[in-house]
Amino acid sequence: MKKHIVFCLAVMLAPSLRAQQRDTAAGAATAARNDTAEARALRDRIEAAFSERVQENLNLSTEQSTKLRATQERFGARRRTLQQQQMDRRRAIDDQMQPGVAANQDSLRKLLDAQRTGRAELAKIEQDEDQEMAGYLTPVQRARYEQMRGRLMQRVVEMQLERRDGRMGRGMQPGVRPGQRAGRRGRGI
């Protein structure tokens, strides 16, 4: 139970550490580097706790556990990089779609094309990772692993939404940025 609580807290704090890193002013570059190190350390603890639970729940041998850890590290780094790029693209698209500001058609086309390519790359990573795991995990172990990972990701999203909703000021609606009027999120799509 204690591990579960620490794990949940770590998952909840990871987004705030990333936000702190983004919000750090240019004059506080040292603090930003420290936040990056803290976020990385927190992510490492989360991944270690998840790996431990996976090893226990899937009854993995030492060899399977070692191979799974190597797979997670290899594909996890690529996945995180692509996910960050996708988030950056979504923000750039949102910035282009400001009410009352003319969107740059060429820029939007490039962003949308890159977003589609990024989705395909993420799907390929998922496929390659699953194929690699099929070499050392049984189908039952792979299915259980996918269930566990799915629940973890679902919980992370829920906690991020809870944190976002808790930070929203009075009168704010989800998806509406400060200074933006409710009901005018896009360009009348």
Tokens linked to 44: 């490492």
Q: What is the pLDDT of residue 168?
A: 60
163 CB-near residues (< 8 Å, 6+ apart): 12, 15, 16
Lowest mean pLDDT among 13-17, 30-34, 61-65: 13-17
Task: Tell me the pLDDT tens digit for each residue of 60-84.
Answer: 999 999 999 999 889 988 998 999 9
Q: What is the pLDDT of residue 110?
A: 96
Q: What is the pLDDT of residue 35?
A: 59
- Res. 120: pLDDT tops 80: yes
- Res. 112: pLDDT tops 50: yes
Q: Which residue has the higher pLDDT, 40 or 78?
A: 78
Average pLDDT, the chain: 77
Letter string b/e over residues 144-161, b meaning 16 or more CB atoms within 10 A of that residue's CB = bbeeeeeebeeebeebee
Share of the chain above pLDDT 70, in %: 69
Tokens linked to 49: 């706790």
- How many other CB atoms are found less than 10 A from the CB of residue 14? 20
